[in-house]
A and B are shown apart, each in its own frame.
Chain A
Amino acid sequence: MEDRPIISVGIDIGTSTTKFIVSHLKYAKVSNRFSLPRYEIVERKIVYESPMYPTPLREKRNEINLEVLKTWLEEQYEEAGINVSDIKSGAVIITGETATKKNAQNIVHYLAEKAGDFVVAVAGASLEGVLAGKGSGAFSRSREVREIIANIDIGGGTANVAIFHRGKVLGTITYHVGGRLIELNRDGEITFISPSIEPWLRSKNYLLSVKQKLDFRHIQQIAREMCNDMLNSLTGQKPISVDDPLIHSASMQMIPDIDEVMISGGIGLLLEKEAPKTINDVTIYGDVGPLLAHELITQLKKFPFIKLNKALQTSRATVIGAGMQSTEISGATICVTSSRLPLRNLPIMILELNNEQLRNREYMYKQITDSLTEWSNYFLEEQETPFAVHIRGIASCSYAELKELAQSLFFCYKQYFPHNSFLVVICENDIAKALGQLLMLQSNNKVDIISIDQITVEQGDYIDIGEVINQSVVPVIVKTLAFMKN
């Protein structure tokens, strides 16, 4: 049973290229036979990598060509030798510029549904940055060294930065910096300007238009300034502000001092190539990518306190992160109504109680009603409103205290969400089975209970819960939403 890996896929539809991988997540019982069961993913291994495929767009370039993409993916599945029914986890990501295409949302969801039982659509540049950092090797390196490491994943449309320190994510920030924001023909004539870079161009007084011809110096100037602005922001020379036209989104307001960077994504790959010298060298891919890569290195030298470290994976970092690193598994003593799974896209309601507060019955009750009132205000009353309650802060508690909590929570939940036929509880600590049984006894089969634990989520996250594996654990994907601009 434990020898069978979870087959997980990653699909990354980027601004310029689309990538696909298949990985095996080997999970194993990591508890001894004298303790409560505990499972962990012990090995994550890539078993198939697709070639880089140009992301197919329709004529007007504002839509992804789903038919073409589908056919390609089907070929890839065949090439990889897997059936859709074998796939138990993974993520479809639309990154960078592509995410702004008209049908992006639909495509992602369509693919997530078709790609396998439990493949989820990932929303948000923040998680992309983290996944790229995990794929590039920055995350695992941060566990080994004392330095603060930033992974800058730069593709065609955006630069997703994730900052790691000793195996923890300190924060993420995404810039409108990418190789394909301005496209050129071989002679340097502009063929396309992405709307997302226009505000920045305007702020810098670059008045560019399609068909305009740029020379080497001019492109170099723009690339240099773009890199400079980004690096100034990353090194704290410039405050992070929603008004900054180069910033797409950020999960933090202060950036810690970065000691090391890794550069992944398509630009990361270009770093290995020789610096372009002529306009023909620049436009070899029909965009400003080669020069952007070169300027990034040059500008980075202005910050001698930051060390550049070679990424283990460049253009495939995000897809590898998505396919291999997005899935976690829950604690193994949980309480779930299996027929309700899988569940996708549950927003998280946080219920934070420390032990002291848990013992204070009135405080606890008020805390629950406050949170639920808040939530119920946003939802229509007459329909099922799926969300998950995340209980955190409780270190260890007595059964009597937990019983109080279960009673209050269930009572209020019924009151505020009378149309909900299930209750999802996600506990930070190992209490899900005890809490689950208490809730089940409360509910008396009227409401289905799903109580899982040892998963950390934050306010604003979404969670996907897969089907029960091995009668004991569920795979979980937590999707983080950064504070979007606009």
Chain B
Amino acid sequence: MKTSVRLMGKTYQFQSLKEIMAKANEEKSGDQLAGIHAQDTQERIAARHVLSELTLADIRNNPLLPPEEDEVSRVIEEGVNEKIYASIRNWTVAELREYLLSPNVTNNEISHIRRGLTSEMIAAVTKIMTNLDLIQAASKITVETRCNTTIGQKGRLAGRAQPNHPNDSLQGIKAAIFEALSYGVGDAVIGINPVIDTVESVKAILNMTKELMDKWDIPTQNCVLAHVTTQMRAIKQGGTADLLFQSLAGTELGNKAFGISVDLLDEANELILKEGTAAGPNVWYFETGQGSELSADAHHGIDQLTLESRCYGLAKRYNPFMVNTVVGFIGPEYLYNSKQVIRAGLEDHFMGKLHGLPMGVDVCYTNHMKADQNDMENLAVLLAAAGVNFLIGVAMADDCMLNYQSTSFHDIATLREVLSLRPAPEFEKWLEKMGIMEHGKLTSIAGDPTFFL
């Protein structure tokens, strides 16, 4: 493995793949906080240069976190198709980039080679791609999944209705769901982040949303984003859940901090397939986000982009219905400003799609980051152009429970109009039946939540 390069009269010698991977990243405050970042821009480019010339085999043979020490590494390793890997093992990372971007490589080809790729290889190629590279490559990939309804088709943009309430008031949650539906949002999922992580409360929200879906015959799926163990108990006690939710980390230690393990997820998987209310076959909703491993001190000196990619390697095991990277939620110590958030959003979406995952993005920021709503609107357009499966819909983008800003119902409606995208097909039919949408456009009654009272 070649680990040095001479650029502009200066020799850059790197000690390990871990160092090369970290230093090849675009600037991120999280890598700086971990103390693994490139010292200057030239060192960054040097690392990228070295990385681009490494072969996929180099990456596989020099594990950043050996499978013997970490179960996420084991899951990723087990997922590799050896035949396909053998056929591409001598490609350099640069060759992989150019392959993905070449005009005759389509969704079919990508679907084939992804089975020979590890999450680390996918992270590596991401590091040497520009923003527009990430958009173009991702836009080639279609990942359709089905729970009660199907999302992810080309030309479609779904939205999660995120009707959170500061104390889980069922009436309050309902009010925000009505607003979402009236703007044509809620086709990906009606998903609530509860404040109160108790079985009673989770069950109440699950059943309320299910009743609402039944009453209005809404073709979508419901989910309450509590800890997976709480959801499991709620389901066992008669809670009606279409989707199981869990946040994932890219290391075993990080998942331990989340209170989960592969064994637990396997158990949950069995339960939701047996006792969930959805048709399936895809019944998981995962969330990720760069920086979570470092914040749990579970990063093993690995950069946050690579760790994020490993989350997707783990997610793949469960054939999820949707994967959402909550890109700017974690704070300025991981992604300092809008530039870093936009970059991370594009990276995550691309990496997830290359893994074959139904990627959506929570395009978001907190108020102590150097970012504002305009930045989010920009990123949302970029992602919609890249073919993102779904975005998050929050009333006027302001989540009054989680205290951060995402994208709004208005934003999703606007993106659909501007980029000629449609809601998920079954949901679109329902919107037409309700009179909220006609020929892919909102009608005059759209935006009136009292329609559902």
Show the binding face of A for B, using Cβ within 8 Å: 28-32, 35, 38, 42, 146
Give 18 pairs: A residue, B residue, CB < 8 Å, sorted on A.
Answer: A28-B198, A28-B200, A29-B198, A30-B167, A30-B168, A30-B196, A30-B201, A31-B167, A31-B196, A32-B167, A32-B195, A32-B196, A32-B197, A35-B167, A38-B167, A42-B200, A42-B204, A146-B453
- Smallest CB separation, B403 vs chain A (Å): 12
Q: Collect the chain B residues with CB atoms within 8 Å of residue A30's CB.
A: 167-168, 196, 201
Cα A146 to Cα B453 with chains together (Å): 7
Min C-beta distance of B414 to chain A, whole Å: 31
Q: Which residues of B are found within 8 Å of A38, using beta-carbon distances?
A: 167
How far is A38 from B195 in the complex, measured between Cα atoms in Å?
13
Chain B contact residue count (CB 8 A cutoff):
10
Chain A residues near B168 (CB-CB < 8 A): 30
A-chain residues with CB within 8 Å of residue B198 when the two chains form the complex = 28-29
Q: How far is the CB of A354 from chain B (nearest CB, A)?
A: 25
Q: In the complex, A28 Cα to B204 Cα: how many Å?
A: 13
Q: Which of B210-245 contact A (CB under 8 A)?
A: none
Q: Looking across the interface, which residue of chain A has its beta carbon closest to that of B169?
A: A30
| Residues of B272-305 contacting chain A, CB below 8 A | none
Residues of A contacting B196 in the complex (Cβ-Cβ under 8 angstroms): 30-32
User: What are the residues of chain B within 8 A of A42 when measuring CB–CB?
Assistant: 200, 204
Chain A nearest CB from B224 CB (Å) reads: 14
Q: How long is the Cα–Cα vector from A29 to B204 in the complex, in angstroms? A: 14
The chain A residue sitting closest to B450, CB to CB, is A146
State the 9 A-B residue pairs at the shortest beta-carbon distance, nearest first.
Answer: A32-B195, A32-B196, A28-B200, A42-B200, A146-B453, A30-B196, A30-B201, A31-B167, A31-B196
> Taking CB as reference atom, which chain A residue is nearest B453?
A146
Residues of A within 8 A of B167 (CB): 30-32, 35, 38
Query: Which residues of B, 198-212, contact A by the 8 Å Cβ criterion?
Result: 198, 200-201, 204
- Per-position binary interface string of chain B over residues 143-178, scored 1 when its CB falls under 8 Å from any chain A CB and 0 otherwise: 000000000000000000000000110000000000
Chain B residues near A146 (CB-CB < 8 A): 453
Distance in Å from the Cβ of A34 to the closest Cβ of chain B?
8
In chain B, what residue has the closest Cβ to A143? B171
Q: How far is the CA of A42 from the CA of B453 in the complex (A)?
A: 23
Interface residues of B in 383-397 (CB under 8 A from A): none
Residues of B within 8 A of A31 (CB): 167, 196
Most buried by B among A29, A30, A35, A146: A30
Q: CA of A38 to CA of B200 in the docked complex: distance in angstroms?
A: 15
Chain A contacts for B453, CB-based, 8 A = 146
With CB as the reference atom, state the residue of chain B lying closest to A35: B167
Complex CA gap A372/B64 in Å reads: 77
| Nearest Cβ on chain A to B450's Cβ, whole angstroms | 9
| Bound-complex Cα distance A31 to B200 (A) | 12
What is the CA–CA distance of A42 and B201 in the complex, to the nearest angstrom?
Answer: 9
CA distance A31 to B204 in the complex (A): 14
- Bound-state CA distance A42–B195 (Å) is 16
List 16 additional A-B contacts (Cβ < 8 Å) besides A28-B200, A42-B200. Answer: A28-B198, A29-B198, A30-B167, A30-B168, A30-B196, A30-B201, A31-B167, A31-B196, A32-B167, A32-B195, A32-B196, A32-B197, A35-B167, A38-B167, A42-B204, A146-B453
Expressed in whole angstroms, the minimum distance between the Cβ of B195 and any Cβ of chain A is 5
Q: Which of A32, A35, A38, A42 has the most CB of B within 10 A?
A: A32
CA–CA, A146 to B451, complex, Å? 11
**Cα A28 to Cα B197 with chains together (Å):** 13
Nearest-neighbour CB distance to chain A for B346, whole angstroms, equals 34
A31 to chain B minimum Cβ distance, whole angstroms, is: 7
Residues in B whose Cβ lies below 8 Å from that of A35: 167
| Nearest-CB residue, chain B, relative to A34 | B195
Contact with A along B179-202 (1 / 0, CB 8 A): 000000000000000011110110
Shortest CB–CB separation between residue A2 and chain B, in angstroms? Answer: 9
From residue A91, how far is it (CB to closest CB) to chain B in Å?
26
Residues of B within 8 A of A29 (CB): 198
| A402–B167 alpha-carbon span in the complex (Å) | 26
Cα distance A30–B195 in the bound complex, in angstroms: 9
A302 CB to closest chain B CB, in angstroms? 30
Q: Output the nearest chain B residue to A28 by Cβ-Cβ distance.
A: B200
Bound complex: CA of A28 vs CA of B198, how far in Å?
Answer: 10
| Bound-complex Cα distance A38 to B167 (A) | 10
Contacts of B197 in A (CB 8 A): 32
CA distance A333 to B120 in the complex (A): 52
CA of A247 to CA of B126, assembled, Å: 80
CB of B453 to closest CB in A, whole Å? 6
Closest CB in chain B relative to A104 CB, distance in Å: 40
CA distance A31 to B166 in the complex (A): 10
Q: In the complex, what's the smallest C-beta–C-beta distance from B207 to chain A, in angstroms?
A: 12
Q: How far is the CB of B445 from chain A (nearest CB, A)?
A: 17
**B168, B198, B204 interface centre (most CB from chain A within 10 Å):** B198
Report the minimum CB–CB distance from B272 to chain A (whole Å).
25
Cβ distance A260 to chain B, nearest Cβ, rounded Å:
16
Measured between alpha carbons, how far is A35 from B401 in the docked complex, in Å?
Answer: 13
Q: Considering the chains assembled together, what is the distance between the CA atoms of A42 and B207 in angstroms?
A: 14
Specify which chain A residues have a CB less than 8 angstroms from the CB of B195 in the assembled complex: 32
Q: In whole Å, how far is B177's beta carbon from the nearest beta carbon of chain A?
A: 15
Residues of chain B in range 436-453 having any CB-CB distance to chain A below 8 Å: 453
Residues of A within 8 A of B201 (CB): 30
Least CB distance, B288 to chain A, in whole angstroms: 24
Name which of B168, B196, B204, B453 has the most chain A CB atoms within 10 A of its CB: B196
Q: When each residue 131-151 of chain B gets 1 if its CB lies under 8 Å from chain A and 0 otherwise, what string results?
A: 000000000000000000000
Q: How far is the CA of A376 from the CA of B2 in the complex (A)?
A: 95
A31 to B195, CA, bound (A): 8
Give bound CA distance, A38 to B204, whole Å: 17
List the B residue with the shortest CB-CB distance to A43. B200
| Whole-angstrom CA separation of A40 from B51 in the bound complex | 59
How close is A289's CB to chain B, nearest CB, in angstroms?
Answer: 37
A326 to chain B, nearest CB (A): 22
Question: Separation in Å of the B209 CB from the closest CB of chain A?
Answer: 15
Residues in B neighbouring A28, C-beta threshold 8 A: 198, 200
Output the least CB separation between B205 and chain A (Å).
12
In angstroms, Cα B202 to Cα A28, docked, is 13
Complex: A30 Cα to B166 Cα, angstroms? 12
Q: With A and B bound together, what is the CA distance between A35 and B196 in angstroms?
A: 10
Bound-state Cα–Cα, A35 to B167, Å: 10
A148 to chain B, nearest CB (A): 14
Instruction: Determine how close the nearest CB of chain B comes to the CB of A164; give it in whole angstroms.
Output: 16
CA distance A219 to B383 in the complex (A): 78
B416-453: CB near A (< 8 Å → 1, else 0) gives 00000000000000000000000000000000000001
- Closest Cβ of chain B: how far from A454's Cβ, in Å? 13
Rounded to whole Å, the gap between the CB of A116 and the closest CB of chain B is 26
CA distance in complex: A32, B193 (Å): 13
Task: Please report the C-alpha to C-alpha distance between residue A308 and residue B202 in the assembled complex, in whole angstroms.
Answer: 36
Bound-state CA distance A38–B197 (Å) is: 14
Q: Roughly how many angstroms separate A29 CA and B196 CA in the complex, as a whole number?
A: 9
A32-B200 Cα distance, complex, nearest whole Å: 13
CB distance from B313 to the nearest CB of A (A): 33
CB-based nearest A residue for B194 = A32
Q: Name the residue on A nearest B198 (C-beta).
A: A28
Q: With A and B bound together, what is the CA distance between A28 and B453 in angstroms?
A: 28
Residues on the A chain within 8 Å of B200, using CB: 28, 42
In whole angstroms, how far apart are the Cα atoms of A32 and B195 in the complex? 6
Chain B min CB distance to A397 (Å):
21
